[in-house]
Amino acid sequence: MSKVEESVEVDVPVRTAYNQWTQFDSFPHFMDGVERIEQRTDTMTHWVTKVAGVEREFEAEITEQIPDERVAWTTLGGEVKQAGVVTFHRLDDTRCKVMLQLDYDPEGFAENVGDKLGFVKRRVTGDLKRFKTYIEDRGRETGSWRGEV
C-alpha cells in the first residue's frame, strides 16, 4: 500500500471549498484522468477514469462526511483499491487549506513502476492545484451537499 499526502491553500472560505468538493460531477474539470463520476446515493459514487489509455470503472463509498471538515472514502471491490480523506482547514474568513491523504494499492507492473516514479503524487499535486484554480476563478461553488455521513 502506498500513501500520498498533499495540501493546497485556497483563496475562498472553507465553506465554499467544502461545498464544491461535494459536487463529484465537477471532478473531471480539475482531476486529470477522471472521465465521469455519478453520485448514485448519498454515500455511493461510480467513477470512470482513463489513465495512460487504460479505462477503469469502480465504485467508491463515502465512509465519513462532516460539513466544512472532511470527506472520507474507500473503493469497493474491482481493480482500483484506494481509500482517502480530504480535510478542510479554516485559515481566516476568506482562505482555507485543503489537505488530501490517499492510500492506494498499485495494480500490476506499470502502476507499480509509476508509483515508484512518483506519478500518483504528482497527479494529486496537480489535481489540488487545478481545484484551487477552478474554485478561485469561479469565486463560488457550483452546488453543495451539507449532509453528514
116 Cβ neighbours under 8 A, 6+ residues apart: none
Average pLDDT by consecutive 10-residue portion of the chain (149 residues)? 95 98 97 96 95 89 98 92 97 98 88 85 96 96 92
Distance, in Å, from the CA atom of 23 to the CA atom of 134, rounded to the nearest integer, reads 13
Distance (Å, whole) CA 126 – CA 48: 19
Domain 2-138 of CATH type 2.70.50.60: no
- Look at residue 134 in the predicted model and tell me its pLDDT: 98
* pLDDT tens digits, one per residue of 105-117: 888 888 888 888 8
pTM for the model stands at: 0.93
Distance CA 102, CA 124 (A): 9
How many whole angstroms separate alpha carbon 132 and alpha carbon 35? 19
